[in-house]
Amino acid sequence: MSEMIKVGIADINLVTPPNTIRTTGLGSCVGVILYDEVRKIAGMAHVMLPQSTLVKSASTNSGKFADTAIKALYDLLLKKGATAKRLKAKIAGGAQMFQFSSASEMMRIGPRNIESVKYHLNQLGIPLIASDVGGNSGRTIEFNPATYHLTIKTVNKGTKII
Amino acid sequence: MDLTKINHLHLDILREIGNIGAGHAATALSTMLNKAVDMKVPSVNVISFEEIMEMVGGSENIVASVFLRIVGDAPGCMFFMLPIEQAETLLGDLLGGEAVQLTEGIHSEMTISALQEVGNILSGSYLTSFSDFTGLNLQPSVPATSIDMAGAILSFGLFEISAVSDLAIVIDTAFTDIRRLDEVKGHFFLMPDPESFAKIFNALGVPMDE
């Protein structure tokens, strides 16, 4: 029996086959998947905000920010036997759920999340294999660590696999 | 923001804001639809982000929503949210009995602008009474609409609070069609920015302890 492992908002979790891992209702948040094809282990983070250093007070939840979430996920995977050099990434999310005529910096949270996630993956030398980002639709994503397929469901644009 | 400094009196104040605000909005909705709309007692919850998603039936639940930013003395976010079928009924009533489809992704311009107008009127009346009650200067941004997963929509309202806290204060007022009281038709969510709480409480003479 395979199980589906859930990742909540601002949460991080790991998965090995035959289980899959899933997060629901990504809007401006970005789902980041790191996986090791040889060791057959993967992890997912549901990132809400681009940078922990921009915040006004210390938060204990590392899963919330792109910089701390990617580092935490990376460390967790290495601890479980993944090899840093083999890690690959897929990402999805970062939508602009609402269109405003006066697009202030704050309202551009989705695009800023995407930029930050890409930057921090690059810093750790993790290649980004596939992504489905931007737009203005919410996404539910599910990753299968056996096939490395990321299934992306949207309300208005159907389902796709990257 | 230190949530431990918020006491019962403060929560009562927030509940009263939800009560007055949504009361006025429900009246406006009732006038617009020419039928009775009843609202439930507002709830004020200090809850985790995950729990917020559960309030609207899970983050994947599809809803029609109107979002606006409150600008002025006490900035924040406001959402008006309806389950998709109920939004279709409401808009259908409003457009003179026309059958309205929101799920297919082909929304007519008319439907979307009707939804936006509903949001505009409701949030305007909510905000006006919020402003009158507190004496704070509050203005709504132009409302934006989205028909999508509740989680994707609501998380957008959390970007201010999530930077400083793992919990959010949500003032929720559910309302119903008076003929079917058991059935929740929609929600108003008011989520003040972290710095706004002290301003709201000060304005009403119940400052937070330093």
Q: Does residue A57 register a pLDDT over 60? A: no
How far lies A67's CA from each of A49, A84, A118, in Å? Answer: 9, 17, 10
Annotated domain spans of chain A: 4-161
Domain that holds residue B48: 3-203
Beta strands A128-133 and A88-93, pairing class: parallel
Q: How many CB atoms lie within 10 A of CB A161?
A: 12
* CATH number of B11's domain: 3.40.1550.10
Instruction: Please state which CATH number belongs to domain A4-161.
Output: 3.30.1330.200
Q: Closest to A9 (Cβ–Cβ): which among B105, B148, B155?
A: B155
Tens digit of pLDDT for each residue in B141-200? Answer: 888 888 889 999 988 888 777 877 778 888 888 777 655 544 556 788 888 888 888 898
Instruction: Name the minimum distance, in Å, from the CA of B36 to any CA of chain A.
Output: 31
Q: Is residue B210 part of a domain?
A: no
Residue to substitute from A98, A108, A132, A154, interface B, most B β-carbons within 10 A: A98
Confidence of residue A87 (pLDDT cuts 50, 70, 90): very high
Residue to substitute from A52, A156, A157, interface B, most B β-carbons within 10 A: A156
Q: Is residue B209 part of a domain?
A: no
Confidence (pLDDT) at B103: 65
- Check CB contact under 8 Å for A109 and B159: yes
Instruction: Rank A53-62, A65-74, B27-36, B54-63 by mean pLDDT and report only the highest.
Output: A65-74
Instruction: Name the minimum distance, in Å, from the CA of B5 to any CA of chain A.
Output: 16
**DSSP secondary structure letters along B136-186:** --EEEPPPEEEEEEHHHHHGGGGHHHHTT-SEEEEEEEEEEETTSTTSEEE
User: Number of structural domains, chain B?
Assistant: 1
Q: Does residue A103 register a pLDDT over 80? A: no
Instruction: Rank A26-40, A43-57, B122-136 by mean pLDDT and report only the highest.
Output: A26-40
Q: Among this protein's residues, is A29 annotated catalytic?
A: yes
Confidence (pLDDT) at A125: 94
Confidence (pLDDT) at B183: 58
- Check CB contact under 8 Å for A24 and B159: no
Lowest mean pLDDT among A29-33, A125-129, B7-11, B73-77: B7-11
Could you tell me if B152 lies within 8 Å of chain A, comparing CB atoms?
yes
